[in-house]
Every structure is written in structure tokens, then in C-alpha cells.
A and B are shown apart, each in its own frame.
Chain A
Amino acid sequence: MFALRLLRRRRLRIKYEVGWGARDQLFAWRTGAIVLSLGAASVTARGRLLFWRVGMLFLGAAWVTAPAFGVIHDDSTSISRPSITRTPAAPPADTTPIGTQPFTDHRNPPSYRKLSDAEFARYDLGMAVFNTQFVPAGTPNAGRRAGVGPLFNSSSCDSCHNNGAHGRGPTGDGPAPSPLVIQLAATPTKNPTDPEGDPVYGRVLNTVALDGVPPEGVLMIRYEETPGHYPDGSAWSLRVPRYSLTNLRYGPLSPRTLVKPRLAPALFGVGLLDAAERDTAGRDAPTGHAAALGTAAGDQGRFGWQATALSVQDQTARAFAREMGLTSTDMPNDDCTHAETACLQAPSNGSPEVSADIFSAVLSFQRYLAVPASPTPHPIPDQDANTFADLGCGACHEPRLPVTLTDADGKEVSAVIAPYTDLRLHDLGNRLADETVAGKKVSSKWRTAPLWGLGYRMSLEHFPTFLHDGRARSAEEAILWHDGEAASARTRFEQLPAPQRKAFLRWLDTL
């Protein structure tokens, strides 16, 4: 945790670093090497030092391996499986990121690497469970499909995360689509990663119910357009959502309940994000979040729009229980509260309703699920990537992260992924903050949304929506909603000349 930096010249500097950046540290720990990074640095308009590594010197290392896992696109749809015979080394910084695959049939999404037969069997079963429409307990012969409800929002994972993709958000005024749910949280709370819910309605407003159990309510949306313009005069408009919770079956929500509209995020690459190094050295602590977690040192949430879930397993158990009414070993209770007697008295499919075998298969599917490669080739690969960096987007939407994975032989390997997220919380300002029923703004911090797979989304969806509640109708609108820590990046984006701004937005479609 020390650094020696000799900076020469003001605008363009050569930096010698006895490297204890997180990745270098990882590499050195595994290889016994001392890492010297050579690169160029410049100062941005904000006075921020940006550093580009152009080479590394490894001193004292007995060997330096080729990238063990960071391979290798060939003509097949799977990456090749390397033979690993020793402790993995962190891959060099210029290693080709892994994780993306072409999605030739989006209904049958591929794994990010070639799977062993046993792994594929679990992946395939998990995909089948993911797509399955669960049915009420007591349905004849329903077997593994039984147990949905009594209160829920959707009866299959796939109905919100269609083929693993981002949920389809609202296109306009009217009833909310299934993938947009209202999460409810008590305030204040001693458990910020999993706060208690509303005392009557629980942690999610369940808009669907089995026969004999009244749904908790209906979510309606109305948008108001808020126009604006760029410094060059070009007009834009953002739609501001007005949420309306109607037909509330058990009376009003508590005034202290935090109302959190949340659109189902994409599941592409979540296993890779789960495998990202849990380092904190040299990086900003997640603002006010990690310290609040009652988990093992170094652990932190990384899933969900506000990183409240610690792992794919954690997130999956919550969604099963609270949005589908399916209990699991990890989460043995669904979202019925003491006030909801009809829910409590409804038949159950036993405990747990999702067996450990089925649950683990769903995890296998998610953990191996690839990230769709963009179908949009980019004619000028570097120029707009530089714009991304120059604007400051990469400060949070980190282009590369190191991961430690296991290959199909069970060996541990290191690789690099390109998720465009730092998996950390950042304050994006009050405009995006949730509010309590009484109108108090709370928790405007959001986990940086991964940008990988954006090109695939844009090619597939007629009406793509962005941000935690789908209010943004384009990546451009999503950028314009950024505030708080991202305000200066947004301002620099607004100040781009129109052709460069458009080229930059086109470049995003290549991710």
C-alpha cells in the first residue's frame, strides 16, 4: 500500500510506479513479482490525473504466463478452455476481456465459456427453471413447478428478465409492466442491505395474487415531459415519472415507508461480476455503504440497483421469495405480513418450495450466462472510447475488472472482464432519489450500472428503457439524468459538439 510516483512535466508525464494498484497487487501476490508500470498521464480539465498504462515490467518473477483464461475468440460460439497447471496469474492489462458471446438464438442464451458435461446439465436445467411458469401449490401433478404466490408479481423469472435481458420498462402512461416492481423499505433501518418492509405490505408491493387472496394494489404511471437543450441549442426532453399506487387492499402505506420503483436488470454476466475481485485497496470506499454491512470484512453488496444484495445467490433468493412467492432454504418466508391473513392462510408447497437442487441449478444458469456481444461493429474503435474516458464516465463505469474464475476442470484462473462498472455506489443526485411516503428523499446512491450488452439491447428492443425505473428512453436520456457525483461528466457530455456527441452515443451501442 505504498506508491512511489515520480512525475515529470506537467501535461504529459512518465509515471514510474512501484505498483500497488489492486490488480498489480494481485499479480505480485500470486507471482512474487514486483510490478513496474510504465505509462502516460495527463491532467483533465477538472485537474484530475488520468493514467494510461502502456507497459509493465515484472521484476523478480520466475515466469509470466500467457493469459490463462482471457481468451480467445475463435469461430465457435464458445471460448476455448485453457489447460491450467499452476496457480493462476493475473492477466496483463491488455488481455482480451472474456465474457461475451454472440447470441444467435436469444431464447437459448449461451454460457460465457465452454462447460463440462456436468456443468452444462446444471446450466440447462437452470435455464429451464428460469423459463418455467410456476403454478399454485396444490395444482395436480405440478411437481417442481408448484408453489408460486399467494402474493407475487410474476410467476416466472423469465417474464421479467426475458431471456436474461433487462426488463421491458414502461412505454408510456398507464399500468406498470411486470418487470417494474415497487420495493418497500422501512425507514430508518438498522439493516441497510435488507431493510424491513412496510409493516402491512412487506418488502414488495405484490400486484398479483392467487384466487382467494387479494392483490396488494396496482401500480400506475404517468409521465411529465421536462424539456431542455444542449449548449449548442439542440433540444432534449426527459420524462419525469409520477407513480400512483391504487387499490391498496390494506389501507395506506406507512408514511415512513420508502417507495422504490425498480426495473428488472439484465442478468448477463452476473456470474462474472460475482467473481470480480473484492478488493478495496486504492479505490474509493462505496459511499456510506460497506461500513453499514454486517458482513465479513471486505465483503460488500454488488447486486441490485443499490448493491444491497451480496451475491447472485442472495439476489435470487430474494426475488424468488418476494416477487414470486417461492420460498427457498436461503429465504424460508415469502412476503406475507401479519396483516395479510388470507396470504398467511393460503396453501403452501412445503418448505422450501424451491428445492435446493432447483435453486442451485438457477444459480448455475446465471453464473455461466454470457454477455451478448454487440451486433454493431464500430468503425473507429478508439476515438469514442477516448471520449468515454475524457468525459469521466470511466471513473465509475470502469471498463475493465479482474476476475478469478474456475475453468471446466475446476482450476482457478484469472481473467479480465469488460463490464463498464466499478460495482460501487455513487451519489447521482436528488433527481433520482427514492422518497418515503411522507416525501423524504432517501438513498440517492446507485451502483454503477454495467454497460456491457448495450448494443445487443439496442438491436433487440423496440423501446429500450434505462435507469432503475426505466424513465430514460435512451442512453442519452440516462446520461442527462446523471447528477451528483456524475454532474461534471454529464456537463462535459452536454458540451460536446453535436457530431461528437452523436458519435459517442453510437459508440455506446458497440458495448
Chain B
Amino acid sequence: MTLRSRALPWPAVRLSIRQSVLLSVLLLNGATVAAAADDPCTGGKWDITQEHALFSKAPEAISAGHDLASAPIMKAQKMYELALSPQSGVTFILPPAKKMLADGAFAGLVHMQVPAAGAYRVSLDQGFWIDVVGNQKFIESTDFGGVPGCTAPRKVVIFNLPAGDVVLQLSGAAKDHVRVTLTSAPAAAH
């Protein structure tokens, strides 16, 4: 087996003036490393075309709840910008499943209306911890992903959700706003 590489037919790259000419051609691991200007939000672990499209639209701004009673409703296939509260003033249904420092963190709760049982993606423009609670129990994620440098979205978590109402708990956020979507996950590639 020969693993020595040959030069790859990478397309010519045109970089902006601001970026200047920043090309570096590397050889490593028997691999050709060539400069290319790629969109960090595409070509990752999953096809996130639908989420990417939603994140390019204007969001509906709502305030996340500081407890279950004040939690608003969020629908699938739509982007929201949630205003979060200082975590010290938020009452969760269940404490966040992951222990973490909460100094100065923001948090909130929101109902998610799930139209039909199945796999769904919860996508955020920032990377921080989320839980989904249904019937007073955590619904464990089945997978997660995200790409550095991409905020549209930055983090994608997949859950198998029952139809009806579940609650999204957001905790440990660095900022007091977060953009979030709930989308159905393609059956073959979630």
C-alpha cells in the first residue's frame, strides 16, 4: 500500500485584499496541505443546510423563562433569539445535568413544541450547555457537533424527542442572548 501522496487538484484560490495572500502549502503525514478558502459552516459532520439557512434570517426575539411558568413556547423550523437571565435567578426543572461553574452565567427555559416524535436538532450560535427535559426527566442527546469559527450555528445537539411539549434548559451561557433553532434531523444523516 502506497500512502505517499500526489498533489491534489485543489481549485485555485482567490483571497480578499484584506486577507492578503496567505497561502501555505504543507506536506504532512504523506498528505498534501494546500491553502483554500472554505466556508467553515459547510462540509462538516452533518449537512446543516437547513439550520444555516434559518440562521441567516431575522430571528423572533423572545425572553426565555426564569422558571417553568414563565417559559415561552418555541416552534420547530424557526429561529429565535432568546434573552437569558442571570443563572443565579433561574429555577430549573432539574439542575443542569452537567456540573459547571456558573459565575456570572446566563440561563433560561423555553418550551419546545415537537410536532411529531423523532430525531431533532437543537442548534445554537454559541457553545454552552443545554438540557432537554420531558416528563421531569432528562432526555439524553444522541449526538452533538459543531465547528470552530462557525456561529451559524456553532453547536448542534441531536435528541430523540417525543411529540408534544418538552422543555429546553439553557445554562452556563457567557452572553445574555442566544440564537436557537429546533429542526427535524434528516433520517439518514443526523
User: Which residues of A are interface residues toward B (Cβ below 8 A)?
Assistant: 105, 107-108, 124, 127-129, 131-133, 135-136, 139-146, 153-156, 158-159, 162, 168, 170-178, 207-208, 215, 217-218, 220, 222, 224, 226, 228, 238, 240-253, 259, 261, 430-439, 462, 469, 471
Contacts and interface: CB of A to CB of B under 8 A. Distances in A.
Interface of B: 1-3, 5, 8, 10, 15, 19-20, 22-38, 40, 42-45, 86, 97-101, 103-105, 127-129, 142-150, 172-174
Contacts of A228: 1
Contacts of B100: 128-129, 131-133
A141 B146 CA distance: 27
A20 B128 CA distance: 53
9 contacts: A132-B101, A135-B174, A139-B174, A174-B43, A178-B146, A215-B149, A248-B23, A251-B22, A435-B26
B123 to A, nearest CB: 16
Given A129-B101, A207-B149, A246 B127 contact: no
Contacts of A173: 43
Nearest to A180: B148
Contacts of A129: 100-101
A133 B36 contact: no
B91 to A, nearest CB: 19
A139 B175 CA distance: 9
A317 B142 CA distance: 31
A208 B149 contact: yes
Contacts of A175: 38, 40, 43-44, 147-150
A174 B42 contact: yes
A224 B30 CA distance: 11
A368 B48 CA distance: 38
Contacts of B38: 174-175, 218, 220, 244, 246
A160 to B, nearest CB: 11
Nearest to B16: A247
Given A128-B101, A261-B28, 11 more contacts: A107-B97, A132-B101, A145-B103, A154-B148, A218-B38, A226-B1, A240-B31, A242-B31, A242-B33, A246-B38, A259-B33
Contact of A434 (B28, B44, B86): B28
Contacts of B149: 175, 207-208, 215, 218
Q: Which of B5, B101, B104, B172 has its CB near the most chain A CB atoms (within 10 A)?
A: B101
A172 B46 CA distance: 9
Nearest to B145: A177
Contacts of A224: 5
B1 A435 contact: no
Contacts of A247: 15, 19, 22, 37
A208 B148 contact: yes
B147 to A, nearest CB: 5
Given A220-B36, A245-B33, A437 B26 contact: yes
Most chain A CB atoms below 10 A, which of B1, B10, B24, B105: B24
B26 A253 contact: yes
B32 A242 contact: yes
A220 B38 CA distance: 8
Contacts of B145: 168, 177
B133 to A, nearest CB: 14
